[in-house]
Amino acid sequence: MKIEFSLKNIVLAAIVSIITVFIIFFLFNLKLIDQKITKIEEQYVEKIIGNNIDTIANLFYFEFDDSLQTLLNSIKENVEEVEQIRIVKELPHAKNAKDGMLVYPLQYQGKTVGYLQVKYRLVFKDVFWKRYQTAGIFIIVAFFFFLAFILYYLYSKISSIDVLAARVQNIDLSHIRKIGAPDSFKEIHTITKSINTMLTAIKENFQKIYIQEKHLQEAQKIAHLSSWEYDLQTGEFSCSDELYRTLGVDASVAMQWEDFLSYFEEKERNRFLAMLERVQKSGISAENVYLFQIYGKTKYLKIIIKYRKTKQEEKFIGIALDVTEEVEAKKKVEFLAYHDPLTALPNRYALQMRLKELAKNQQKRFGVVFIDIDDFKFINDSYGHTFGDEFLMQLAKALVALNITSDIFRIGGDEFVLIVENFESKKELSAYAEQILEKIATEYEVEGVKFFVTCSIGICIYPDDSEKVEDLLTNADLAMYEAKKEGKNRYRFFDEKMKERFERYNTIAHYLQESLQKRDEILLYFQPKLNFETLKVESAEVLVRWNHPELGFVFPDTFIPVAERSDLIIELDHYILKRSFESLEQWQQDPLLSKLYLSVNISGREFYDPHFIDYLKELLQTHPIDPSKIEIEITETVSMEDAEFTKKTLKEIKSLGFRIALDDFGTGYSSLNYLKQIPFDTLKIDKSFVQDIDKDEDDLKIVTLIINIAKSFSKETVAEGVETKRHEEILRDLACNMAQGYLYSKAVDKEQFRIFVNQQNSSSA
Ligand code: C2E
Ligand code: CA
Ligand code: CA
């Protein structure tokens, strides 16, 4: 039989035990009272007998029978308890000794002479019990009734509570209904009412919690946020539904800790476990993004972990956030940040990272091969950017196909860099460079157009040429630049001299910039141009000179190429143009010079600058001079870089009223058809042809041809570099119009120029 430890049973058992204990206690007390009374009465009897026993013994020994009888009677009469008192000779038999009988030996001088036998009855005890019997029974019965009532009362209350407890126990929190009171006790009703109020509150809260839980689930779903807990003591793992969804695993099978771990990509799992260990040790929460690999699918989860340890539990609590999209977007952005979108090759930024990475491993040698396409600008300008892009893609493919290295970067428009590791000697690198030159120098076809390109290559070796990563690319670039300068379609290894040249170049650029801010360091020199017939000065070419406090007197061959590699050339050309306008303005007031016109050299950079025409217009507005007194000199080569643009620009210059000269004529490859289309006034025969005109048949033929062409287009010719009388004679015979050269004057400052004009124009009148 199963004993139920219900409240009812416990209370019942307690009450029964109390009653039992009480009865035992009651009976025990009665017994004690009885014993006490007995003892008192017996002691009283014994005391009386004890006090008289010697007297009785003497009287008996000396046979004073009357006195003895009187004494015994008096004891019997005075002591109520004594029923019979007599003297016997022999000790009564043990079996005759009874309760309520006392026997005393009577002694005289140490000898027992007889026995006193006293029969007694406990009078007081009898009376006492007789008197209290009825009351006692009554009290006991009354007490039992009282107990029974209490028991009943308690029982009824307890059974109500018991019923209530059973009902409360059976409340289904998911379907909360009010409970009925089990009986009419007021307290039970109050309790029931409170429980019902509580149930209503619980119901409401349940609904709220349910709604909130729904919201939370929705929110988790929307935010791709899931939560999980791992109990370190029990090994139990629990997680929100969203984790199943996020990981894309079956939600009907409860996920275990081992399952969860198995979804991590292998290396990531170790990283995750290491993080758990750290968090457990430090107690500080941590977060990280981990890669998961579930059934071939890739997921990125950001996991935030907290460690909780109390007396009762030890847990990891985690939040997992699906960041797959973000990570992939970031990867894409990173790819774009590190790659050139056109060719998908890693870009300049990626190259810098790679170089740094390689340089960390200091023993390893590697070569940086810098490739630049020759005259790529020409392709781009002639056929457009889409065309150029298509060509670059073909080029990238060709470089990859060479299979020299997988480290290929596109770091600028037409600039590619290869990093070559594991090479034995410079020779091997040379072989690679030749392979590249050969591969690139081939015929390409884009949009049906066939063309041919070449490239120039610069090579720099780490750590031989530089241990500094920052310098590797610059050095390779310098070597490449050198290869271009030496005629393109070739490769050059970097050497220190290139660097010295480069540093010198930088110094010049820096100084030039400073000097351009001052008026007295960049000087205009004038070289006279004379009419062959009259030998009178009709014009002058403005040639720039630079008087620098540290570098000294510098000629343009030194600094013009430097200026041309930066925007300084634009600034310089503007400066010279402006100062030339100012000079002409001053010459208007000087009768000796007022008829002269000035030729000003314009660099290719300035010519192709979109603001060039605007600048000319601006000068015309600020300086009131006749524009036909300024001749713009551009070299034949520059003019040919973009024929269409040149045509358009020269027409605009012409329409503003300026003269135009094609400088260094004969060194370019203009066709007659081209010359026919562009407006110009003068052809300047390059001094390289003039120099040997008296010795070299070919040069003579070329010069003759140039003069005839100019004549046929009704243009003027200027011969540069006339150094000897012989030069003068030949050129005059060929009917060249103007002469310029050391035979007459070098370029000189304006004072000397005025002196020369004065001398020349008055003497040969
Ligand atoms: P360029 O335009 O061909 O100028 C003619 C160059 O030949 C000048 O050198 C001149 O001094 C030199 N020359 C003149 N006569 C003779 C001669 O009989 N024999 C020899 N051997 N040379 C002679 P310069 O002044 O050193 O100028 C060199 C180049 O610098 C110029 O060549 C021009 O391209 C450029 N340049 C000079 N001044 C300027 C300027 O103001 N702006 C720009 N953009 N370029 C300039
Ligand atoms: Ca010139
Ligand atoms: Ca020239």
Closest ligand 1 atom to 602 CA: 44
The Å distance, Cα 503 to ligand 1 centre, comes to 25
Query: Is the CB of 544 inside a 6 Å radius of any atom of ligand 1?
Result: yes
Is CATH 3.30.450.20 the right assignment for the domain spanning 223-322? yes
Query: Is the CB of 564 inside a 6 Å radius of any atom of ligand 1?
Result: no
- Do you know the residue count of the chain? 765
Query: Is the CB of 664 inside a 6 Å radius of any atom of ligand 1?
Result: yes
Q: What is the pLDDT of residue 366?
A: 94
Closest ligand 1 atom to 664 CA: 3
Q: Are strands 237-239 and 225-231 parallel, antiparallel or unpaired?
A: antiparallel
Q: What is the pLDDT of residue 764?
A: 47
Query: Is the CB of 446 inside a 6 Å radius of any atom of ligand 1?
Result: no
CATH architecture observed for domain 507-763: Alpha-Beta Barrel (3.20)
Q: Are strands 443-446 and 449-452 parallel, antiparallel or unpaired?
A: antiparallel
The Å distance, Cα 687 to ligand 3 centre, comes to 7
**CB neighbour list of residue 41: distance below 8 Å, 6 or more residues apart:** 81, 122, 123, 124, 125
Query: 3-state DSSP: the chain helix, strand, coil percent, rounded to 5?
Result: 55, 20, 25
Helix (H) or strand (E) holding 67: helix 65-78
> What ranges do the domains of the chain cover?
7-128, 171-208, 223-322, 341-494, 507-763
Q: What stretches of 310-412 adopt beta strand conformation (E)?
A: 314-322, 366-373, 408-412
Asked if domains 7-128 and 223-322 share a fold, the reply is: yes
Query: Is the CB of 691 inside a 6 Å radius of any atom of ligand 1?
Result: no
State the Cα–Cα distance between residues 188 and 160, nearest whole angstrom.
7
The Å distance, Cα 488 to ligand 2 centre, comes to 25
**526, 577, 601, best to mutate for ligand 1 pocket (most atoms within 8 Å of CB):** 601
Mean pLDDT split into 10-residue runs, the chain, 765 residues: 67 80 84 87 86 85 82 86 85 66 84 86 83 80 84 78 78 75 76 84 82 79 85 93 90 93 94 95 93 91 93 92 90 88 93 92 88 91 90 95 93 94 92 96 92 95 90 93 92 94 90 92 98 96 96 94 91 97 96 97 95 97 96 94 92 97 90 92 96 96 96 96 97 97 97 97 68
Query: To which residue do tokens 């014993």 refer?
Result: 35
CA dihedral 228, 233, 235, 236 (to 10 degrees): -50
Structural contact between residues 720 and 687, judged by C-beta atoms closer than 8 angstroms = yes
At the top level of CATH, the class of 7-128 is alpha beta
The Å distance, Cα 594 to ligand 1 centre, comes to 24
Helix, coil or strand: residue 297? strand
Phi, psi torsion values for 82, nearest 5 degrees: -70, 125
Give the closest ligand to the alpha carbon of residue 554.
Answer: 1
Q: Which of 435, 434, 430, 452 is nearest to 443 (CA)?
A: 452
Specify the fold of 341-494. Alpha-Beta Plaits (3.30.70)
Q: For 257-278, what is the HEC assignment?
A: HHHHHHCECHHHHHHHHHHHHH
